[in-house]
Amino acid sequence: ALYKVIFVVALLTLLTHESHSQLNVCGISPLNTRIVGGQKAPPGNWPWQASLQTSGRHFCGGSLINSQWVLTAAHCFSSIPARLTVSLGLQSLQGSNPNGVSRTVTKVIKHPKYNSRTNDNDICLLQLSLPVTFTKFIVPVCLAAPGSTFFSGVSSWVTGWGTIASGVPLPPPGNLMEVNVPIVGNRQCNCNYGVGSITNNMICAGLRAGGKDSCQGDSGGPLVSKQGSRWILGGIVSFGNGCARPNFPGVYTRVSQYQSWINSQITSSKPGFVTFTSTGTNSDLSIRCPGLP
């Protein structure tokens, strides 16, 4: 199939130019050739999805951004476990994962301005002990570049192994779950959560009626949107008022705010940054509520 040829060519280009940006392969999911419905993610659909584990137990998600770095949420590390591993290429948390690989983490870098009280700058980098080899099941995601615009209603996907409702654990074998949610503009999100609580470093997504959301255990995982043939990481699962409650969309760290910080920490093989551009008009600009400037 043509998409396989394109992927292999991109992969070879990357391997021969390892010191250059990973833009040439990022965000290409060779097994995700269609928009999918349902909740259980087909194998290999989200090849950048990482599982952060300690003592063999999953506690947070993350996204592979180059062969040796994973992007996640700072709030996952109120304390740093003695033995921290990252698993990639997993379909389920239990049972066999023939495409999975694991690495220990050698460095945890929380954003220096992360505020645990307000959840501002909820972003963290993990350096893996050894690089991973890219396959159809392990691919880095592209990152939203500064200047990206995510208008209200933009289709996005959240993936993770978190609880399937507040306090309801994911049933065995712990399949990776996916949910499609629209972006909610920051003005609307501020009206929902209380003016001033949603900063420019955050992005929201969810349904006004509720029912679809990320939840506990999904923290640090990806919120991605597709542009052309590439998937772009627009957000990192950060916080919310409960899970999937009406008028309380999920709140995510806005990745496009952090290119300079990420590049200051990663010295070789810079991640691929892509500008996401929304079409049409931004309906969020017309949102009004008491106290909103």
Catalytic residue, candidates 29, 51, 219, 225: 219
111 is catalytic: no
Catalytic residue, candidates 29, 51, 75, 87: 75
Q: What DSSP line would sit under the chain, residue for residue?
A: -HHHHHHHHHHHHHHHTTTS-GGGTTT--TT--S---SSBPPTTSSTTEEEEEETTEEEEEEEEEETTEEEE-GGGGSS--SSEEEEES-SBSSS--TT-EEEEEEEEEE-TT-BTTTTBT--EEEEESSPPPP-SS--PPEEEPTT----TT-EEEEEESS-SBTTBPPPTT-B-EEEEEEEE-HHHHHHHH-TTSS-TTEEEE--TT------TT-TT-EEEEEETTEEEEEEEEEE-SSSS-TT--EEEEEGGG-HHHHHHH--SSPPPEE-----S--GGGG---TT--
122 is catalytic: yes
Catalytic residue, candidates 58, 87, 111, 122: 122
Q: Hunting for tokens 């080899």 — which residue is that?
A: 133
Q: Which one, of 257, 164, 262, 178, lies nearest residue 215 by Cα? A: 164
Q: What is the C-alpha to C-alpha distance for residues 78 and 123, in angstroms, rounded to an integer?
A: 12
* Distance from the Cα of residue 132 to its chain's centroid: 18
Q: Which distant-in-sequence residues (6+ apart) come within 8 Å of 243 by Cβ?
A: 163, 165, 166, 213, 214, 215, 216
Active site residues: 75, 122, 219
